[in-house]
């Protein structure tokens, strides 16, 4: 049977989330002693135990919540009187620290041209995991974009079939034009992506919007898109555009305003 530590190493290797639950204090009669650990996966499956029974059920529920909001929490339980809501009758007290173990947020760049490469470079420097997708294999490989961690040389519409897109996934479309965006966007708009940005002028985006509406895409999904992409900094070079794009992603992720801090 795998140990908790082996499982944690596997999580890091595979870029998967879980919550580590540790008994940090136990006094009196309790099901498990201090330092007992349990790993809770996103589907509620567990490895290890913090005591079983109702106590463990509550810890698992808290662990799943911590994976959803990304926040650690300290749980305190008295194990004396179930009629008062206690999870047991052992008579002791227990504290469990729940720590979400989350992989780095993922930036997915669709389009491996000059701007896409610059975005990959900056996103990697900022600590994101980086994936590149392009239906042209020559633009989607380690030689073309050395900073990327994963490569998906598939049409945009097929990307969700190859990649798990979560609220911690940020989609950056630095594509060739409306002919690529209009057929490729609908499956991405239906995903849980935390951010979807499309490069190009306002006119180009309006043409894409018209095409999406013609396909019956709901207005709420269309409104998810940031286009023109990025923060207005009068960017011109691929590197400057990458700064603008990543600044907007950080603003969305961190709840920033995008305004100058001196005002």
pLDDT tens string 50-99? 888 888 899 999 999 999 889 999 998 886 656 666 555 666 788 999 99
Answer yes or no: pTM beyond 0.95.
no
Distance CA 56, CA 113 (A): 50
> pLDDT tier at 232 (50, 70, 90 boundaries)?
very high
pLDDT at position 94, please?
86
Domain covering 106-254 in this structure, CATH number: 3.40.50.720
Beta bridge partners of 76: 95
Where exactly does CATH 3.40.50.720 map onto the chain? 106-254
Of 157, 168, 149, the C-alpha closest to 249 is 168
- Asked whether residue 132 carries a pLDDT value surpassing 90, the answer given is yes
- Asked whether residue 30 carries a pLDDT value surpassing 80, the answer given is no
Largest CA distance in the chain: 69
């Amino acid at each position: 049977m795998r140990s908790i530590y082996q499982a944690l190493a596997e999580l890091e290797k595979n870029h998967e989330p879980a919550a580590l639950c540790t008994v940090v204090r136990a006094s009196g009669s309790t099901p498990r002693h201090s330092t007992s650990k349990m790993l809770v996966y996103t589907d509620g499956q567990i490895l290890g135990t913090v005591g079983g029974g109702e106590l463990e059920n509550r810890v698992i529920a808290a662990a799943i919540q911590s994976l959803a909001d990304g926040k650690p929490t300290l749980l305190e339980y008295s194990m004396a009187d179930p009629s008062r809501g206690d999870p047991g009758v052992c008579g002791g007290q227990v504290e469990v620290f729940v720590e979400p173990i989350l992989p780095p947020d993922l930036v997915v760049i669709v389009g491996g041209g000059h701007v896409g490469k610059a975005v990959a470079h900056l996103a990697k420097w900022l600590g994101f995991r980086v994936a590149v997708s392009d239906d042209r294999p020559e633009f989607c490989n380690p030689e073309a974009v050395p900073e990327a961690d994963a490569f998906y040389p598939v049409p945009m519409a097929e990307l969700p079939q190859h990649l798990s897109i979560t609220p911690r996934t940020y989609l950056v479309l630095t594509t060739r034009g409306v002919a690529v965006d209009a057929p490729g966007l609908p499956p991405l708009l239906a995903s849980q992506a935390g951010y979807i940005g499309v490069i190009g002028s306002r006119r180009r985006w309006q043409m894409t919007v018209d095409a999406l509406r013609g396909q019956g895409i709901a207005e709420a999904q269309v409104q998810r898109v940031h286009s023109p992409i990025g923060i207005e900094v009068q960017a011109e070079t691929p590197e400057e555009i990458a700064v603008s794009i990543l600044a907007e992603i950080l603003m969305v992720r961190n709840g920033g305003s995008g305004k100058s801090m001196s005002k």
